Amino acid sequence: MTDPSAGPLTTTSVREAVPGQVRAEPLLKIRDLTVTFASRGRAAVRAVDGVNLDVAAGSTVGIVGESGSGKSVTSLAAMGLLGRRGVEIRGSVDFDGSDLLHMPEQELRAVRGREIAMIFQDPMSSLNPVLTVGRQITEILVRHRGLSGRQARDRAAELLQSVGIGDSLRRLKSFPHQLSGGMRQRVMIAMALACEPRLLIADEPTTALDVTISAQILELLRRLVADTQTALVLITHDLGVVAGLCDTVHVMYSGRIVESAPRRPLFADPRHPYTTGLLASVPRLDAPRGVPLLPIPGSPSDTLPWARGCAFSPRCTRQVDACLGAPPVLEPLALPSHLLRCVNPVPPRKHLG
Protein backbone atom coordinates (compact mmCIF):
# COMPACT_ATOMS: atom_id res chain seq x y z
CA MET A 1 0.00 0.00 0.00
CA THR A 2 2.99 2.27 0.31
CA ASP A 3 4.41 3.76 -2.78
CA PRO A 4 8.14 3.42 -2.24
CA SER A 5 8.78 6.83 -3.69
CA ALA A 6 6.58 8.58 -1.17
CA GLY A 7 8.89 8.47 1.81
CA PRO A 8 9.71 11.32 4.11
CA LEU A 9 12.13 13.81 2.72
CA THR A 10 15.11 15.71 3.83
CA THR A 11 14.34 18.90 1.98
CA THR A 12 11.78 20.08 -0.47
CA SER A 13 14.30 19.96 -3.28
CA VAL A 14 14.81 16.26 -2.74
CA ARG A 15 11.07 15.84 -2.90
CA GLU A 16 10.91 17.43 -6.31
CA ALA A 17 13.71 15.20 -7.49
CA VAL A 18 11.75 12.06 -6.69
CA PRO A 19 10.61 10.55 -9.97
CA GLY A 20 7.25 8.96 -10.59
CA GLN A 21 5.40 10.64 -7.74
CA VAL A 22 1.85 9.40 -8.04
CA ARG A 23 0.55 9.71 -4.54
CA ALA A 24 -1.84 12.30 -3.27
CA GLU A 25 -0.51 14.95 -0.92
CA PRO A 26 0.17 13.59 2.55
CA LEU A 27 -2.37 14.53 5.15
CA LEU A 28 0.31 15.55 7.63
CA LYS A 29 3.57 17.14 6.57
CA ILE A 30 6.13 18.01 9.19
CA ARG A 31 9.09 20.01 7.93
CA ASP A 32 12.27 20.81 9.79
CA LEU A 33 10.63 20.58 13.18
CA THR A 34 13.01 21.71 15.89
CA VAL A 35 12.15 21.87 19.57
CA THR A 36 14.44 23.44 22.14
CA PHE A 37 13.73 23.47 25.85
CA ALA A 38 15.39 26.35 27.61
CA SER A 39 14.86 27.14 31.22
CA ARG A 40 16.78 29.72 33.13
CA GLY A 41 19.94 28.52 34.78
CA ARG A 42 20.10 25.34 32.74
CA ALA A 43 21.64 24.50 29.41
CA ALA A 44 19.16 24.45 26.53
CA VAL A 45 18.08 20.96 25.42
CA ARG A 46 17.41 20.42 21.76
CA ALA A 47 14.94 17.55 22.06
CA VAL A 48 13.97 17.47 18.39
CA ASP A 49 16.31 18.60 15.68
CA GLY A 50 15.08 19.12 12.13
CA VAL A 51 12.57 16.33 11.78
CA ASN A 52 10.66 15.78 8.52
CA LEU A 53 7.73 13.45 8.43
CA ASP A 54 4.93 12.68 5.98
CA VAL A 55 1.81 10.75 6.80
CA ALA A 56 -0.74 9.92 4.12
CA ALA A 57 -4.35 8.97 4.69
CA GLY A 58 -4.72 5.23 5.15
CA SER A 59 -1.09 4.69 6.04
CA THR A 60 0.79 3.98 9.23
CA VAL A 61 4.06 5.66 10.05
CA GLY A 62 6.17 4.32 12.88
CA ILE A 63 8.65 6.20 15.03
CA VAL A 64 11.09 4.10 17.02
CA GLY A 65 14.10 5.01 19.09
CA GLU A 66 15.84 5.18 22.39
CA SER A 67 14.13 6.58 25.46
CA GLY A 68 14.63 10.33 25.35
CA SER A 69 15.29 10.44 21.62
CA GLY A 70 12.46 12.89 21.06
CA LYS A 71 9.60 10.71 19.86
CA SER A 72 6.96 12.09 22.20
CA VAL A 73 8.19 15.65 21.94
CA THR A 74 7.95 15.47 18.14
CA SER A 75 4.29 14.59 18.27
CA LEU A 76 3.43 16.91 21.14
CA ALA A 77 5.09 19.85 19.42
CA ALA A 78 3.36 19.09 16.14
CA MET A 79 -0.01 19.08 17.85
CA GLY A 80 0.69 22.30 19.72
CA LEU A 81 0.56 20.54 23.06
CA LEU A 82 3.87 21.61 24.53
CA GLY A 83 2.78 24.94 25.89
CA ARG A 84 4.68 28.10 25.20
CA ARG A 85 6.88 28.76 28.19
CA GLY A 86 10.45 27.59 28.07
CA VAL A 87 10.01 25.99 24.66
CA GLU A 88 11.08 27.16 21.27
CA ILE A 89 9.48 25.39 18.32
CA ARG A 90 10.56 25.95 14.74
CA GLY A 91 9.64 24.49 11.39
CA SER A 92 6.21 23.80 9.94
CA VAL A 93 3.44 21.33 10.52
CA ASP A 94 0.96 21.18 7.68
CA PHE A 95 -2.28 19.33 8.31
CA ASP A 96 -4.48 19.13 5.23
CA GLY A 97 -3.30 22.53 4.04
CA SER A 98 -3.27 24.47 7.28
CA ASP A 99 -0.27 25.20 9.44
CA LEU A 100 -0.87 23.86 12.93
CA LEU A 101 2.07 25.72 14.43
CA HIS A 102 0.63 29.11 13.57
CA MET A 103 -3.04 28.45 14.07
CA PRO A 104 -4.95 30.40 16.72
CA GLU A 105 -5.33 28.28 19.86
CA GLN A 106 -9.10 28.01 19.62
CA GLU A 107 -9.10 26.84 16.03
CA LEU A 108 -6.33 24.38 16.79
CA ARG A 109 -8.33 22.95 19.64
CA ALA A 110 -11.28 22.39 17.34
CA VAL A 111 -9.11 20.60 14.79
CA ARG A 112 -7.63 18.43 17.52
CA GLY A 113 -11.02 17.43 18.79
CA ARG A 114 -12.60 16.77 15.42
CA GLU A 115 -9.91 15.60 13.07
CA ILE A 116 -6.86 14.66 15.07
CA ALA A 117 -6.75 12.41 18.11
CA MET A 118 -3.88 11.45 20.27
CA ILE A 119 -3.28 8.49 22.55
CA PHE A 120 -0.77 9.46 25.19
CA GLN A 121 1.92 7.44 26.82
CA ASP A 122 0.53 8.33 30.23
CA PRO A 123 -3.24 7.81 30.26
CA MET A 124 -3.93 9.61 33.53
CA SER A 125 -2.76 12.86 32.00
CA SER A 126 -5.62 12.99 29.57
CA LEU A 127 -8.48 11.52 31.55
CA ASN A 128 -10.53 13.75 33.79
CA PRO A 129 -10.41 12.21 37.28
CA VAL A 130 -13.76 13.63 38.41
CA LEU A 131 -15.89 12.50 35.47
CA THR A 132 -17.02 8.97 34.76
CA VAL A 133 -15.52 7.24 31.79
CA GLY A 134 -18.92 7.14 30.12
CA ARG A 135 -19.40 10.88 30.51
CA GLN A 136 -16.01 11.55 28.95
CA ILE A 137 -16.65 9.38 25.93
CA THR A 138 -20.24 10.46 25.32
CA GLU A 139 -19.23 14.10 25.54
CA ILE A 140 -16.93 13.63 22.59
CA LEU A 141 -19.60 11.81 20.63
CA VAL A 142 -22.18 14.50 21.31
CA ARG A 143 -19.89 17.45 20.69
CA HIS A 144 -17.90 16.22 17.72
CA ARG A 145 -20.12 13.61 16.09
CA GLY A 146 -23.47 15.18 16.84
CA LEU A 147 -25.05 12.12 18.39
CA SER A 148 -27.98 12.29 20.77
CA GLY A 149 -27.43 11.33 24.41
CA ARG A 150 -28.88 7.87 23.93
CA GLN A 151 -27.02 7.13 20.72
CA ALA A 152 -23.86 8.36 22.34
CA ARG A 153 -24.24 6.01 25.27
CA ASP A 154 -24.78 2.99 23.05
CA ARG A 155 -21.86 3.95 20.88
CA ALA A 156 -19.67 4.50 23.95
CA ALA A 157 -20.48 1.01 25.22
CA GLU A 158 -19.67 -0.36 21.78
CA LEU A 159 -16.34 1.44 21.78
CA LEU A 160 -15.38 0.03 25.17
CA GLN A 161 -16.29 -3.40 23.92
CA SER A 162 -14.09 -2.94 20.89
CA VAL A 163 -11.05 -2.20 23.05
CA GLY A 164 -11.67 -5.37 25.01
CA ILE A 165 -13.44 -3.99 28.05
CA GLY A 166 -16.22 -6.38 28.87
CA ASP A 167 -19.31 -5.48 30.87
CA SER A 168 -19.09 -2.13 29.18
CA LEU A 169 -22.38 -0.65 30.35
CA ARG A 170 -21.23 -1.00 33.95
CA ARG A 171 -17.73 0.23 33.12
CA LEU A 172 -19.15 3.44 31.67
CA LYS A 173 -20.10 4.38 35.22
CA SER A 174 -16.55 3.95 36.56
CA PHE A 175 -14.21 6.77 37.39
CA PRO A 176 -10.68 6.57 36.00
CA HIS A 177 -9.13 5.71 39.39
CA GLN A 178 -11.38 2.66 39.64
CA LEU A 179 -9.78 1.12 36.59
CA SER A 180 -6.48 -0.68 36.23
CA GLY A 181 -3.68 1.01 34.31
CA GLY A 182 -4.30 -1.19 31.30
CA MET A 183 -8.00 -0.38 31.29
CA ARG A 184 -7.36 3.35 31.51
CA GLN A 185 -5.09 3.05 28.54
CA ARG A 186 -7.88 1.35 26.63
CA VAL A 187 -10.46 3.92 27.68
CA MET A 188 -8.19 6.53 26.20
CA ILE A 189 -7.94 4.53 23.00
CA ALA A 190 -11.74 4.30 22.93
CA MET A 191 -11.95 8.09 23.37
CA ALA A 192 -9.55 8.59 20.48
CA LEU A 193 -11.61 6.29 18.29
CA ALA A 194 -14.80 8.09 19.29
CA CYS A 195 -13.69 11.14 17.33
CA GLU A 196 -13.29 9.08 14.17
CA PRO A 197 -10.17 11.15 13.56
CA ARG A 198 -8.53 11.55 10.20
CA LEU A 199 -5.17 11.49 11.94
CA LEU A 200 -4.42 9.42 15.00
CA ILE A 201 -1.17 9.76 16.91
CA ALA A 202 -0.56 6.86 19.27
CA ASP A 203 2.35 7.22 21.67
CA GLU A 204 3.28 3.78 23.04
CA PRO A 205 -0.40 2.82 22.98
CA THR A 206 0.15 -0.72 24.20
CA THR A 207 3.32 -0.62 26.27
CA ALA A 208 1.44 -0.85 29.55
CA LEU A 209 -0.75 -3.69 28.34
CA ASP A 210 -0.39 -7.45 28.41
CA VAL A 211 0.57 -8.99 25.10
CA THR A 212 -2.77 -10.66 24.55
CA ILE A 213 -4.61 -7.36 25.07
CA SER A 214 -1.98 -5.48 23.11
CA ALA A 215 -2.48 -7.77 20.12
CA GLN A 216 -6.20 -7.07 20.30
CA ILE A 217 -5.64 -3.29 20.29
CA LEU A 218 -3.11 -3.40 17.47
CA GLU A 219 -5.56 -5.41 15.39
CA LEU A 220 -8.15 -2.74 16.07
CA LEU A 221 -5.79 0.00 14.92
CA ARG A 222 -4.88 -1.98 11.84
CA ARG A 223 -8.53 -2.29 10.89
CA LEU A 224 -9.21 1.35 11.65
CA VAL A 225 -6.52 2.38 9.17
CA ALA A 226 -7.66 -0.08 6.53
CA ASP A 227 -11.38 0.57 6.85
CA THR A 228 -11.58 4.29 7.46
CA GLN A 229 -8.44 5.60 5.76
CA THR A 230 -7.23 7.07 9.03
CA ALA A 231 -3.62 8.21 9.01
CA LEU A 232 -1.78 6.67 11.93
CA VAL A 233 1.46 7.72 13.59
CA LEU A 234 2.63 4.99 15.90
CA ILE A 235 5.35 5.71 18.43
CA THR A 236 6.80 2.58 19.96
CA HIS A 237 9.96 0.97 21.16
CA ASP A 238 8.73 -2.45 20.07
CA LEU A 239 10.31 -3.39 16.77
CA GLY A 240 7.87 -6.27 16.46
CA VAL A 241 4.91 -3.91 16.48
CA VAL A 242 6.59 -1.79 13.83
CA ALA A 243 7.28 -4.83 11.67
CA GLY A 244 3.65 -5.86 11.75
CA LEU A 245 1.89 -2.55 11.42
CA CYS A 246 3.87 0.31 9.93
CA ASP A 247 4.21 1.14 6.26
CA THR A 248 7.09 3.51 6.85
CA VAL A 249 9.45 3.56 9.80
CA HIS A 250 11.57 6.39 11.16
CA VAL A 251 14.36 5.56 13.58
CA MET A 252 15.26 8.43 15.89
CA TYR A 253 18.39 8.95 17.89
CA SER A 254 19.10 11.98 20.03
CA GLY A 255 16.48 14.20 18.41
CA ARG A 256 17.14 13.35 14.77
CA ILE A 257 15.92 10.79 12.34
CA VAL A 258 18.90 8.55 11.59
CA GLU A 259 17.21 6.13 9.23
CA SER A 260 13.84 5.86 7.58
CA ALA A 261 12.43 3.41 5.11
CA PRO A 262 9.39 1.40 4.21
CA ARG A 263 9.24 -1.41 6.74
CA ARG A 264 10.39 -4.22 4.45
CA PRO A 265 13.67 -2.64 3.38
CA LEU A 266 14.18 -1.38 6.92
CA PHE A 267 14.07 -4.86 8.38
CA ALA A 268 15.57 -6.69 5.41
CA ASP A 269 18.36 -4.22 4.84
CA PRO A 270 18.94 -1.96 7.84
CA ARG A 271 21.96 0.25 7.25
CA HIS A 272 22.35 2.50 10.28
CA PRO A 273 24.52 0.93 12.99
CA TYR A 274 21.96 1.95 15.61
CA THR A 275 19.16 0.21 13.70
CA THR A 276 21.17 -2.96 13.17
CA GLY A 277 22.31 -2.76 16.78
CA LEU A 278 18.72 -2.63 18.00
CA LEU A 279 17.72 -5.56 15.84
CA ALA A 280 20.64 -7.68 17.03
CA SER A 281 20.08 -6.89 20.68
CA VAL A 282 16.47 -7.99 21.08
CA PRO A 283 15.78 -11.69 21.48
CA ARG A 284 13.42 -13.00 18.82
CA LEU A 285 10.83 -15.51 19.70
CA ASP A 286 11.39 -17.40 16.46
CA ALA A 287 15.20 -17.34 16.51
CA PRO A 288 17.09 -20.52 17.25
CA ARG A 289 18.01 -20.64 20.93
CA GLY A 290 21.58 -20.21 22.06
CA VAL A 291 22.33 -17.38 19.67
CA PRO A 292 23.94 -14.77 21.92
CA LEU A 293 22.49 -11.28 21.98
CA LEU A 294 24.76 -8.54 20.71
CA PRO A 295 24.12 -5.55 22.92
CA ILE A 296 24.75 -1.98 21.85
CA PRO A 297 27.64 -0.86 24.04
CA GLY A 298 27.41 2.07 26.42
CA SER A 299 24.20 3.78 27.43
CA PRO A 300 21.88 6.38 25.92
CA SER A 301 23.60 9.08 27.95
CA ASP A 302 26.84 8.55 26.01
CA THR A 303 25.90 10.94 23.28
CA LEU A 304 27.66 13.59 21.27
CA PRO A 305 26.01 16.90 20.33
CA TRP A 306 25.13 16.66 16.64
CA ALA A 307 27.13 19.78 15.91
CA ARG A 308 30.28 17.84 16.76
CA GLY A 309 29.55 14.78 14.68
CA CYS A 310 27.32 11.74 14.84
CA ALA A 311 25.50 11.60 18.17
CA PHE A 312 25.65 7.80 18.13
CA SER A 313 29.41 7.68 17.55
CA PRO A 314 30.40 7.14 21.22
CA ARG A 315 28.49 3.84 21.13
CA CYS A 316 29.04 2.93 17.52
CA THR A 317 31.16 -0.05 16.52
CA ARG A 318 31.71 1.37 13.02
CA GLN A 319 32.94 4.80 14.05
CA VAL A 320 35.60 6.29 11.76
CA ASP A 321 37.27 9.73 11.73
CA ALA A 322 34.69 11.09 9.33
CA CYS A 323 31.96 10.52 11.93
CA LEU A 324 33.38 13.34 14.01
CA GLY A 325 33.67 16.99 13.15
CA ALA A 326 30.62 17.62 11.01
CA PRO A 327 27.12 16.19 11.52
CA PRO A 328 26.23 13.45 9.02
CA VAL A 329 23.41 14.31 6.65
CA LEU A 330 20.18 12.36 6.07
CA GLU A 331 20.46 11.17 2.47
CA PRO A 332 18.55 8.83 0.20
CA LEU A 333 20.13 5.51 -0.76
CA ALA A 334 19.66 3.65 -4.04
CA LEU A 335 16.07 3.14 -3.01
CA PRO A 336 14.97 6.78 -2.78
CA SER A 337 12.55 6.19 0.06
CA HIS A 338 15.32 4.73 2.18
CA LEU A 339 17.09 7.59 3.97
CA LEU A 340 20.21 7.25 6.03
CA ARG A 341 22.26 9.52 8.28
CA CYS A 342 25.60 7.74 8.54
CA VAL A 343 29.04 8.11 7.00
CA ASN A 344 30.06 4.48 7.50
CA PRO A 345 26.87 2.49 7.10
CA VAL A 346 26.53 -1.21 7.67
CA PRO A 347 27.11 -2.89 4.29
CA PRO A 348 23.97 -4.08 2.51
CA ARG A 349 22.91 -7.55 3.55
CA LYS A 350 23.55 -10.30 1.08
CA HIS A 351 20.19 -11.78 0.35
CA LEU A 352 19.97 -15.52 0.41
CA GLY A 353 18.28 -17.10 -2.61
Ligand X SMILES: Nc1ncnc2c1ncn2[C@@H]1O[C@H](COP(=O)(O)OP(=O)(O)OP(=O)(O)O)[C@@H](O)[C@H]1O
Residues near Mg ion (CB under 5 A): 72
CA 39 to chain CA centroid, nearest Å:
26
Q: Does 90 bind another protein (CB under 8 A)?
A: no
Nearer to ligand X, 57 or 188 (CB): 188
Stretch that binds another protein, among 37-45, 95-103, 129-137, 219-227 (CB under 8 A): 219-227
Residue 348 CB, nearest approach to another protein (Å)? 17
Q: Does 337 bind another protein (CB under 8 A)?
A: no
Q: Which does 47 bind (CB under 5 to 8 A by kind): another protein, Mg ion, ligand X, none?
A: ligand X
Q: Which does 295 bind (CB under 5 to 8 A by kind): another protein, ligand X, Mg ion, none?
A: another protein
Per-residue string for binding with another protein, 115-154, x by CB under 8 A?
----------------------------------------
Nearer to ligand X, 47 or 140 (CB): 47
Percent helix, strand and coil across the chain, each to the nearest 5? 35, 20, 45
Site residues for another protein, window 293-332 (CB under 8 A)?
A: 293-297, 299-301
Q: Is 54 helix (H, G, I), strand (E, B) or coil?
A: strand
- Which residues 6+ apart lie within 8 Å of 157 measured at CB? 168, 169, 172
Q: Is 220 helix (H, G, I), strand (E, B) or coil?
A: helix
Residue 36 CB, nearest approach to ligand X (Å)? 9
Residue 38 CB, nearest approach to ligand X (Å)? 9
**Rounded distance, CA 59 to CA 55, Å?**
7
Q: Are strands 116-119 and 28-37 parallel, antiparallel or unpaired?
A: unpaired
Residue 107 CB, nearest approach to another protein (Å)? 35
Nearer to another protein, 274 or 306 (CB): 274
Q: Does 55 bind another protein (CB under 8 A)?
A: no
Q: Does 25 bind another protein (CB under 8 A)?
A: no
Kindly report the number of other CB atoms within 10 A of residue 179's CB atom: 18
CB 59, CB 231: distance < 8 Å: yes
**Rounded distance, CA 301 to CA 303, Å?**
6
Nearer to another protein, 99 or 219 (CB): 219
DSSP 309: B
Nearer to Mg ion, 47 or 194 (CB): 47
CB 241, CB 206: distance < 8 Å: yes
Cα dihedral 118, 120, 124, 127, rounded to 10, equals 0
Stretch that binds another protein, among 21-29, 93-101, 120-128, 237-245 (CB under 8 A): 237-245
Q: Shortest CA distance to 329 belongs to which of 249, 272, 277, 258?
A: 258
CB 298, CB 308: distance < 8 Å: no
CB 30, CB 9: distance < 8 Å: no
* Residues at the contact surface with another protein, assessed by CB under 8 A: 1, 66-67, 161-162, 164-166, 182, 210-216, 218-219, 222-223, 226, 237-244, 263-264, 267-268, 274, 277-279, 281-286, 289, 292-297, 299-301, 352-353
